[in-house]
């Protein structure tokens, strides 16, 4: 059994990787998904925090937050931690970083042996201190490897180099440190001949140089800021806030300038006189390179010193291997190569090369002790009872845990699974509490994990779910769907689109953007209708109750509303079910708002009349069908309904538009009754028709998919038919029709890729002679089409089909019997 795990325990950042059957995987932090973990430890509020969060506090809370402790490894120095009134040694701090890296291993494997890298400069005492840190972290075996060797191993494995005796340099320029090492291979063995470094040279210095040499001088040309550098850097300075913004901007600019020759810097600053300046200016790569050139030349000087010490010339070196995030900067690569005349290699990922090389080494290193630790320690008999409210409107929830069993010396950690909260490690006590912050209006899932002193998992609870904001005391679920009525031009009717589903919790708000389905002239009687209904979204609009309606007539418009222009509709329903509809017309920049109280009914006579026209037409059609099928009982029932609908229409026609009696409400109720009865009588037939159509479409589409479908299309199709059983059991013909249409759409895409279909369609258009508006043009197109067919160029044939189609006279528009809503 081999060790397999490699760890780059860096001064600034640490990385963990694993070798598995010739492949190395670099693990990511489960929080934030970064491959690097800052080697910084914080002791704040009874918590131990390692990584990014700790680094944020390093500068401002130096008595409790520690970084760069690797430099002190093997010394007698220790760090006084104010918050715990105790000291921590560099070994203990390093062990905490190693333990934190265990959390990166998503596979759940126990990490009890690893290869840990050390700088080339580490002496025996420092090396042993590193090994001790590994043991403290729970590793039974720790193998050490020098960082330049690790990087070289990553390089050698990546390039599959043959074994030849040669020497090269490893140039490691990271975020805060620089190291260079001379590596030699001789008789298959790799060793370090010499090394040198600077603990205060790296990418962060370059960010500061951008501020100091580019941004500050630019600002001084825009206004007088006094001692701007001091005001930026001093914690009590007027521009200290801005300094941190500029650091972020400078880092972003630096990254951009690695791939672009120019980038923009953008921010705001207030002058001492109170004037707000909007700063926007470009930084070129040349400017950036001028700033950092001197620093890079310092690294070159160190390499020259190494070469001189070892009596080497540039020609005697195979390459310079570039490692560390700052070697992405083009000038670093160019200048080092140019100044030294040694080719550089950028083959390995500079950020993870050391850990990757360590993992390769670990893949060859045999374990002498094999200890299979159980994933969960069952001997402690831990039982954790937790108390918290599962539903709350508060921004945080009080969490209480009571622990039974052998809990002494254990640590707990609670993480919100969206990655937004982490308690860090805290000591377990018999009862412990936490305030868990909640993301608004969603289910917040937390994981409680309990670890032993070596960070091995001994207890886990993934079932802590707290819903925020959903079930207010005043909140109530909707008893019915809330829908909006829109035109259905294909069927010359209207249909419902669901806005809020039944059982959604109030209050609710949704913004819809629809299109105007017909041009509405300014000053005309035509208009758009925003009709909001309550009921079942699968039923016909006529069977649902209108709970709010806004009619915008041409007379109210300031300009014509062109077909296809946007209309924005905001629907808001309060906890007491007041409905506010706000309609905004993009073209005319007009807004119409109305608040509908559920206790007040709104009925539009025009809309009612239109509904009845639609209903009569549907009744006519179904009656004819029933007669053809000799279903005289049904035809009689339908005919009775039709007569009622006609009578209702006549009554509406007699009613003045401004009628103040409640007749219109009675008429609307009657219309609903007719419509519901009609739905009931024809429901089974519609369903049967929809089901038959569905299965036919499904069958021929499946055949097409098997022969010509892409993986994505197959997946989409499988998704659509996966709920078939539920769909067929549903009461909605409309839903079945909707799925059928989606399947047809997939099939249509596939068909247009098949030559048979394209040829068939082409022949159809080629057979039309007299119908084209420009017969001469059509003739020429057909000639081209025949040639394309001969060449089997089906893409060209598709274009020709489109062109032929465009030469046909516009199809006669379907006569619109209904006014509709004017929106689609």
Partner 1 sequence: MENIKHHLKIINQFFEIEKKLAALNGAESAQRNVERIKSYFEEMGYQIHNPLGESYSETRTDCEASIAGASAENLYINEVIKPIVRYLQEGQPQIVQKGVVITRSR
Residues found near partner 1 in the complex (CB under 8 A)? 31-32, 42, 44-45, 47, 49, 52-54, 56-57, 59-61, 235-236, 240-241, 243-245, 247-248, 266, 276, 416-424, 437, 439-440, 442-443, 445, 510-511, 513, 568, 584, 589
Output 53 or 664, the one with its CB closest to partner 1: 53
Output 544 or 583, the one with its CB closest to partner 1: 583
- Give the angle 8-14-18 at the CA atoms, nearest 5°: 55
d(CA 427, CA 415): 15
Output 418 or 640, the one with its CB closest to partner 1: 418
User: Minimum Å distance from CB 591 to partner 1?
Assistant: 9
Q: Is the distance from CB of 407 to CB of 427 less than 8 angstroms?
A: no
Output 471 or 584, the one with its CB closest to partner 1: 584
Which is it for the CA torsion 392, 395, 397, 398, positive or negative? negative
Q: Tally Cβ neighbours within 10 Å of residue 622.
A: 20
User: Minimum Å distance from CB 280 to partner 1?
Assistant: 11
d(CA 70, CA 192): 20
Output 208 or 314, the one with its CB closest to partner 1: 208
User: Minimum Å distance from CB 545 to partner 1?
Assistant: 27
Output 443 or 803, the one with its CB closest to partner 1: 443
User: Minimum Å distance from CB 20 to partner 1?
Assistant: 23
Find, among 668, 543, 649, the residue nearest to 603 by Cα.
668
537 Cβ contact partners less than 8 Å away, ≥ 6 residues apart: 481, 483, 496, 497, 498, 501
d(CA 287, CA 212): 12
User: Minimum Å distance from CB 18 to partner 1?
Assistant: 22
User: Minimum Å distance from CB 245 to partner 1?
Assistant: 6
152 Cβ contact partners less than 8 Å away, ≥ 6 residues apart: 168, 170, 183, 190, 321, 357
Output 282 or 374, the one with its CB closest to partner 1: 282
End-to-end CA distance of the chain: 67
424 Cβ contact partners less than 8 Å away, ≥ 6 residues apart: 42, 47, 48, 49, 50, 53, 413
Output 52 or 724, the one with its CB closest to partner 1: 52
Output 510 or 753, the one with its CB closest to partner 1: 510
18 Cβ contact partners less than 8 Å away, ≥ 6 residues apart: 4, 5, 6, 24, 25, 27, 105, 359, 362
Output 57 or 751, the one with its CB closest to partner 1: 57
d(CA 334, CA 345): 11
Instruction: Please name the residue that has the structure tokens 């050391």.
Output: 354
User: Minimum Å distance from CB 168 to partner 1?
Assistant: 35
User: Minimum Å distance from CB 33 to partner 1?
Assistant: 9
Inter-axis angle of helices 147-159 and 353-362, nearest 10: 80
User: Minimum Å distance from CB 423 to partner 1?
Assistant: 6
Cα distances (Å, whole numbers) of residue 698 to 64, 106, 624, 707 = 66, 41, 29, 14
DSSP per-residue codes, 68-87? -GGGGTTSS--EEEGGGTEE
Output 45 or 387, the one with its CB closest to partner 1: 45
User: Minimum Å distance from CB 29 to partner 1?
Assistant: 10
d(CA 64, CA 67): 10
User: Minimum Å distance from CB 421 to partner 1?
Assistant: 6
State both tokens at 649. 């229409």
User: Minimum Å distance from CB 262 to partner 1?
Assistant: 18
User: Minimum Å distance from CB 244 to partner 1?
Assistant: 4
User: Minimum Å distance from CB 569 to partner 1?
Assistant: 11
d(CA 411, CA 25): 28
Exposure string of 452-466, with b = 16+ CB inside 10 Å and e = fewer, is eebbbbbbeeeebeb
Output 44 or 683, the one with its CB closest to partner 1: 44
d(CA 253, CA 213): 14
Output 89 or 423, the one with its CB closest to partner 1: 423
User: Minimum Å distance from CB 416 to partner 1?
Assistant: 8
Find, among 85, 88, 84, the residue nearest to 67 by Cα.
88
Output 60 or 187, the one with its CB closest to partner 1: 60
DSSP per-residue codes, 175-225? SS-EEEEEEEEETTEEEEEEEEEETT-SHHHHHHHHIIIIIHHHHHHHS--
Cα distances (Å, whole numbers) of residue 791 to 428, 514, 762, 786, 788 = 78, 45, 14, 9, 5
Output 419 or 475, the one with its CB closest to partner 1: 419
Q: Is the distance from CB of 127 to CB of 118 less than 8 angstroms?
A: yes
d(CA 737, CA 335): 67
68 Cβ contact partners less than 8 Å away, ≥ 6 residues apart: 11, 12, 39, 176, 199
- Give the angle 534-536-537 at the CA atoms, nearest 5°: 95
3 state SS of 693: helix
Output 364 or 513, the one with its CB closest to partner 1: 513
User: Minimum Å distance from CB 505 to partner 1?
Assistant: 16
């Amino acid at each position: 059994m081999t060790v397999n795990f490699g760890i780059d325990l860096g001064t600034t950042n640490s990385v963990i990787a694993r070798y598995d059957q010739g492949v190395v995987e670099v693990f990511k932090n489960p929080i934030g998904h970064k491959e690097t973990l800052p080697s910084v430890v914080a002791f704040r509020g009874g918590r131990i925090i390692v990584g990014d969060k700790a680094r944020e506090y390093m500068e401002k809370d130096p008595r409790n937050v520690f970084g760069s402790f690797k430099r002190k490894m093997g010394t007698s120095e220790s760090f006084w931690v104010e918050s715990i009134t105790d000291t921590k040694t560099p070994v203990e701090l390093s062990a905490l970083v190693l333990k934190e890296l265990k959390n990166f291993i998503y596979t759940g494997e126990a990490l009890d042996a690893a290869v840990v890298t050390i700088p080339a400069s580490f002496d025996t005492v420092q090396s042993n201190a590193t090994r001790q840190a590994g043991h403290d972290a729970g590793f039974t075996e720790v193998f050490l490897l020098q960082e330049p060797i690790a990087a070289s191993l990553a390089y050698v494995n990546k390039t599959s180099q043959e074994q030849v005796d040669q020497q090269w340099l490893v140039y490691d320029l990271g975020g805060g440190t620089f190291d260079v090492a001379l590596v030699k291979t001789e008789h298959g063995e790799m060793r370090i001949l010499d090394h040198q470094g600077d603990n205060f040279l790296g990418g962060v210095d370059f960010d500061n140089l951008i501020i100091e040499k580019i941004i500050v001088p630019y600002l001084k040309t825009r206004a007088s800021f006094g001692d701007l550098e001091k005001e930026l850097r001093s914690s009590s300075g007027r521009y200290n806030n801005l300094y941190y913004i500029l650091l972020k901007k400078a880092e972003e600019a630096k990254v951009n300038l690695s791939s672009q020759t120019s980038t923009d810097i953008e921010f705001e600053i207030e002058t001492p006189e109170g004037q707000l300046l909007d700063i926007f200016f470009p930084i070129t790569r040349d400017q950036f390179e001028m700033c950092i050139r001197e620093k890079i030349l310092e690294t070159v000087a160190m390499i020259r010193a190494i070469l001189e010490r070892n009596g080497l010339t540039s020609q005697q070196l195979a390459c310079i291997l570039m490692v560390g995030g700052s070697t992405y900067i083009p000038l670093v690569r160019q200048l080092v190569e140019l100044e030294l005349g040694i080719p550089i290699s950028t083959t390995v990922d500079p950020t993870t090369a050391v850990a990757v090389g360590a993992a390769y080494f670990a893949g060859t290193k045999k374990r002498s002790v094999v200890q299979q630790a159980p994933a969960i320690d069952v001997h402690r008999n831990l039982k954790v009872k937790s108390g918290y409210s599962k539903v709350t409107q508060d921004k945080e929830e009080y969490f209480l845990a009571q622990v039974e069993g052998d809990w002494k010396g254990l640590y707990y950690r609670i993480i919100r699974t969206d990655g937004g909260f982490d308690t860090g490690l805290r000591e377990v006590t018999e009862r412990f509490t936490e305030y868990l912050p909640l993301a608004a209006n969603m289910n917040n899932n937390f994981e409680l994990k309990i670890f032993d002193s070596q960070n091995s998992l001994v207890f886990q609870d993934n079932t802590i779910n707290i819903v925020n904001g959903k079930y207010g005391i005043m909140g109530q679920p909707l008893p019915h769907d809330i829908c909006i009525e829109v035109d259905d031009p294909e069927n010359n009717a209207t249909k419902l689109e669901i806005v809020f589903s039944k059982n959604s919790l109030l209050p609710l708000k949704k913004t819809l953007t629809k299109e105007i389905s017909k041009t509405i002239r300014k000053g005309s009687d035509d208009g758009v209708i925003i009709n909001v209904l309550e009921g079942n979204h699968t039923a016909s609009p006529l069977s649902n109750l209108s709970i709010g309606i806004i009619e915008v007539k041409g007379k109210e418009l300031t300009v014509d509303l062109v077909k296809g222009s946007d209309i924005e509709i905001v629907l808001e329903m309060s906890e007491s079910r007041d409905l506010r509809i706000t309609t905004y017309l993009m073209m005319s920049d007009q807004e119409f708002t109305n608040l509908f109280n559920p206790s007040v009914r709104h009925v539009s006579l025009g809309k009612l009349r239109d509904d009845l026209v639609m209903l009569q037409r549907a009744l006519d059609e179904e009656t004819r069908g029933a007669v053809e099928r000799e279903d005289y009982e049904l035809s009689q029932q339908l005919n009775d309904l039709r007569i009622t609908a006609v009578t209702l229409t006549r009554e509406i026609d007699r009613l003045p538009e401004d009628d103040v009696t409640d007749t219109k409400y009675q008429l609307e109720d009657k219309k609903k009754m007719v419509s519901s009865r009609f739905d009931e009588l024809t429901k089974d037939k519609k369903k049967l028709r929809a089901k038959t159509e569905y299965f036919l479409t499904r069958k021929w589409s499946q055949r097409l998919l098997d022969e010509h479908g892409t993986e994505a299309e197959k997946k989409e199709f499988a998704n659509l038919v996966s709920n078939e059983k539920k769909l067929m059991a549903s009461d909605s013909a409309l839903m079945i029709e909707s799925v059928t249409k989606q399947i047809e759409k997939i099939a249509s895409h596939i068909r247009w890729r098949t030559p048979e279909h394209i040829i068939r369609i082409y022949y159809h258009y080629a057979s039309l002679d007299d119908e084209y508006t420009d017969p001469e043009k059509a003739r020429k197109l057909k000639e081209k089409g025949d040639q394309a067919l001969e060449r089997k160029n089906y893409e060209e044939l598709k274009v020709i089909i489109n062109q032929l189609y465009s030469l046909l006279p516009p199809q006669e528009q379907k006569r619109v019997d209904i006014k509709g809503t004017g929106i689609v």
